[in-house]
Every structure is written in C-alpha cells, then in structure tokens.
C-alpha cells in the first residue's frame, strides 16, 4: 500500500484541526491512514512570556504581521522536506489541476496566516509557494488550508468509492458537470429528462456532454476557451 500522505500544518490555532476534515470521507480516510495530520503550534516558538507571534507592520498601517523570527523557528524545527505552501489571498489561485499536483506529494506543509499576513522574508527564505482559494479575504489560513486538503484528499486512492466519479466531474477536461437527477422521477410535476431513463448509454453520454458544453459556455466563458484550446492540435 502507498504511504500515507502527510499534512503538516503550521498554525496558531491547532485546535481548528482536523475540523470538518475529521468527518465524512476525509475523516474516514484519516482513520484509515490514507492521510495523516500533524499540527505545529507556531506560538510554541515565541520568545517572550506572552507568546507573541505578531508585531506591528514596518512602515506603519493597520493590523499586525506574523513575525519572521517566530514562524522561522517553527519551520526550522519542524520542516522535514516536501512541498511547502502558505495560504494567502495574494497567492496563485487554487485550481483542480493544482490540487491534482499536490495530491502527488508524500508530504505537504501548509503555513496558515493570521492578522495581516506573514513577514515576506520567511516566504523567501523557505521558498514558500503562496496559494489563494479565491478573490476574497478570510480571517485566517486555516479555513483555506482545510478546503485545499478536502479537495486533495478526495483524490487519494481509496477515498472515493467510485473512482470513475472523479473522471466526469466539473473541471475535468475544463467542462462543468451536466445536471444530475435521482428519484422520484416525478417531483411535484417536474420530471427527470426522458433521455436519462431510456437506458441507452451512448445517447445518455452524448446528452450529458451537450449539457456540460452548454453550461460551461453560459457560465464560464474562461473555461470554455480553455476547453477549445485543449482540443486544438
Ligand atoms: N492583509 C492580507 C489579508 C490577510 S487575511 C491581504 O490583504 O492580502 C489573514 C490570513 O488569512 C492570510 O494570511 C491567509 O493565510 C488567510 N487568507 C485570507 N484570505 C485567503 C484566501 N482567499 N486564500 C487563502 N488564504 C487566505
């Protein structure tokens, strides 16, 4: 069996982990050892008796910044190799392609920011890649890290019951997913599209592809362009 994917989280709120990752499929995968979790409390590496991890920004301005020396010490003592990233709104936007790339690492170290963020020098010194989960601002990197891990863990072998469900999902092949239906066939006068009940696999596959294309064209012209580019030889 493949070695467990190890997630090492650098945070000042270790109690937030595993959080929602402890439930459902990701929780089961954690219990089964498909992935493992270790948290490092950055505050344990503070130098003063108050456990200060932040200080005012050089040059002035609002808020506080995570100190380079405290976070640096936490990293020096606990970073044992593998990919290292920090959650940050100014990072590269997380995509399914990036999630797939990260799912290939044996060890993923994630630094969670708080306050106004992290002293830039730590990011440089440890060659940390910054990742954003979208163009909005959260209070902390812990929430973002859990979203990244949730997307990643479901791709690990043995986590999803039906591996083929990954293949037809949104963002695979740059197309959004087709609409899904289940029972009852008639719900308050709204019926399931007849084609899905015909039992003809090819016709159903064609209909679904058509629907995927239509939804992608309407909702995500950016993805539609990527799809067309990927088909060009
Ligand atoms: N002053 C910063 C925002 C800090 S928010 C700025 O303007 O860029 C505090 C922390 O929350 C960040 O250090 C980061 O770890 C996390 N965070 C906030 N929004 C995020 C996002 N969209 N993606 C990933 N992490 C985010």
Q: Where are the domains of the chain?
A: 5-153, 170-232
- Name the average pLDDT for the chain: 96
Residue 1 has pLDDT above 80, yes or no: no
- Domain 170-232 falls under CATH 1.10.1270.20: yes
Residue 164 pLDDT = 62
Chain-centroid distance, C-alpha 75? 21
Cα 179 to ligand 1 centre (Å): 33
CATH number for the segment(s) 5-153? 3.40.1280.10
Task: Name residues contacting ligand 1 (CB within 6 A).
Answer: 87-90, 112-114, 116-117, 132-134, 136-138, 140-141, 144
Nearest protein CA to atom 21 of ligand 1, as residue:
89
Probe residue for ligand 1, chosen from 87, 119, 132, 135 as the CB with the greatest number of ligand atoms within 8 Å: 87
Q: How far apart are the first and last CA of the chain?
A: 38
User: Quick check: 39 and 64 in contact, CB under 8 A?
Assistant: no
Q: Residues 189-204: pLDDT tens digits? A: 999 999 999 999 999 9
Q: Residue 166: pLDDT band by 50, 70, 90 thresholds?
A: confident
Residue 167 pLDDT = 73
DSSP-assigned letters across all residues of 109-161: EEEEP-TT-B-HHHHHHTTPEEEESSSS--S-HHHHHHHHHHHHHTTSTTSSS
- Which ligand 1 atom sits closest to the C-alpha of 63? 1
Q: Residues 72-130: pLDDT tens digits? A: 999 999 999 999 999 999 999 999 999 999 999 999 999 999 999 999 999 999 999 99
């Amino acid at each position: 069996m493949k070695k467990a994917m190890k997630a090492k989280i650098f945070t000042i709120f270790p109690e937030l982990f595993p959080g929602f990752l402890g439930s459902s499929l990701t929780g089961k995968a954690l219990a089964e050892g498909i992935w493992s979790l270790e948290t490092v409390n950055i505050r344990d590496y503070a130098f003063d008796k108050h456990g200060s991890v932040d200080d005012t920004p050089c040059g002035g301005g609002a808020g506080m910044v995570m100190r380079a020396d405290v976070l640096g010490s936490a990293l020096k003592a606990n970073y044992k190799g593998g990919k290292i990233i920090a959650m940050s709104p100014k990072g590269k936007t997380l995509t399914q392609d990036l999630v797939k790339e990260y799912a290939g690492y044996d060890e993923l170290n994630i630094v969670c920011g708080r306050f106004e963020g992290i002293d830039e020098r730590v990011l440089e010194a440890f060659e940390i890649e910054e990742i954003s989960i979208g163009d909005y601002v959260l209070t902390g990197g812990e929430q973002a890290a859990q979203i990244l891990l949730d997307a990643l863990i479901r791709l690990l072998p043995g986590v999803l019951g039906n591996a083929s469900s990954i293949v037809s999902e949104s963002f695979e092949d740059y197309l959004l997913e087709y609409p899904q239906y289940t029972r009852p066939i008639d719900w308050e006068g709204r019926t399931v599209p007849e084609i899905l009940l015909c039992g003809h696999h090819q016709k159903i596959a064609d209909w679904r592809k058509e629907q995927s294309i239509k939804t992608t064209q309407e909702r995500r012209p950016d993805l539609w362009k990527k799809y067309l580019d990927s088909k060009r030889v």
